[in-house]
């Protein structure tokens, strides 16, 4: 059986502003094992983005426990969370978050600025990541010269370059047409099925969520259901991307 990568117990989150308390998450309990592809699905306001921010060390929980790869990370301070985030987490966002007048190679190398590597090793890691998403022919292009689908593939390469324990994909197809969206989902499936990466996908779309193997459905700050995907969607075409 696969080892646990993420485990939360009684996870709660509330925000306080001028003594006004706004609860968002109401005591979540679940586990994600290494090598799983899990979708967190729910409508706007369900708490899925807040949960992702906590799991990805972008925010802190208010109550409960969070174990990451066996370590209790519930009480880490901001500096410790930043180290964990840089070393263990790769992010792919809906808005791509690329530097527009910067090359694909330099965009992908950005997370390596804080890693003790030689320039040659940084370049090799970034080049390998770019090749893995089928964009070797675009490596010297500026990111503002790319299509939306290509930008998201650069974002995936950037998420991979630090060899993270888990990749969080937050609405990764939200700004893409259906063809480009399927290409991105195929790459994520390939990273999971062929390379063993743990993927956590955040989405409000049922069809996109069904590319994962398991779906956590959220509603009003609670997990409404936690189920295996029975008829998993399998995207096609990753081999064509790499030609």
Average pLDDT over residues 45-49: 92
End-to-end CA distance of the chain: 36
**What angle do the packed helices 119-132 and 148-160 form, to 10 degrees?**
130
Res. 242 pLDDT band, cuts 50 70 90:
very low
Residues 74/18, Cβ–Cβ less than 8 Å:
no
pLDDT of residue 237: 54
Lowest mean pLDDT among 65-69, 155-159, 193-197: 193-197
Task: Report which of 173, 66, 198, 112 is spatially closest to residue 120, judged by C-alpha positions.
Answer: 112
Indicate the pLDDT class of residue 238, thresholds 50, 70 and 90.
very low
pTM: 0.91
Q: Is the pLDDT of residue 224 over 60?
A: yes
High-pLDDT (> 70) share of the chain, %: 96
Task: Answer yes or no: is pLDDT of 117 > 60.
Answer: yes
pLDDT in tens, 163-178: 999 999 999 998 898 8
User: Do residues 86 and 162 touch, judged by C-beta distance below 8 A?
Assistant: yes
12-33 per-position pLDDT tens digit: 999 998 889 999 999 999 999 9
Predicted confidence (pLDDT) at residue 153 exceeds the cutoff of 50? yes
């Amino acid at each position: 059986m696969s080892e646990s990568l993420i485990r939360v117990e009684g996870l709660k989150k509330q925000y306080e502003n001028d003594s006004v308390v706004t609860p968002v998450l109401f005591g979540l309990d679940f586990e994600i094992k290494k090598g799983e592809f899990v979708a967190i699905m729910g409508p706007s306001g369900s708490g899925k983005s807040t949960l992702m921010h906590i799991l990805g060390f972008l925010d802190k929980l208010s109550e409960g426990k969070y174990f990451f790869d066996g370590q209790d990370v519930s009480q880490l301070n901001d500096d410790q969370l930043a180290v964990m985030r840089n070393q263990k987490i790769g992010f792919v966002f809906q808005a791509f978050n690329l530097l527009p007048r910067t090359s694909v190679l330099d965009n992908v190398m950005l997370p390596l600025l804080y890693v003790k590597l030689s320039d040659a090793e940084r370049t090799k890691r970034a080049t390998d990541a770019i090749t893995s998403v089928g964009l070797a022919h675009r490596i010297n292009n500026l990111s503002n010269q790319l299509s939306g689908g290509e930008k998201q593939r650069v974002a995936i390469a950037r998420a991979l370059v630090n060899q993270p324990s888990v990749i969080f994909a937050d609405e990764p197809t939200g700004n893409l047409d259906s063809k480009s969206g399927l290409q991105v989902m195929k790459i994520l499936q390939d990273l999971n099925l062929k390379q063993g990466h743990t993927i956590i996908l955040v989405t409000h779309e049922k069809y996109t969520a069904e590319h994962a193997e398991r779906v956590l459905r959220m509603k009003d700050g609670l997990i409404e259901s936690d189920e295996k995907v029975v008829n998993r969607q399998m995207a096609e075409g990753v081999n064509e991307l790499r030609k």
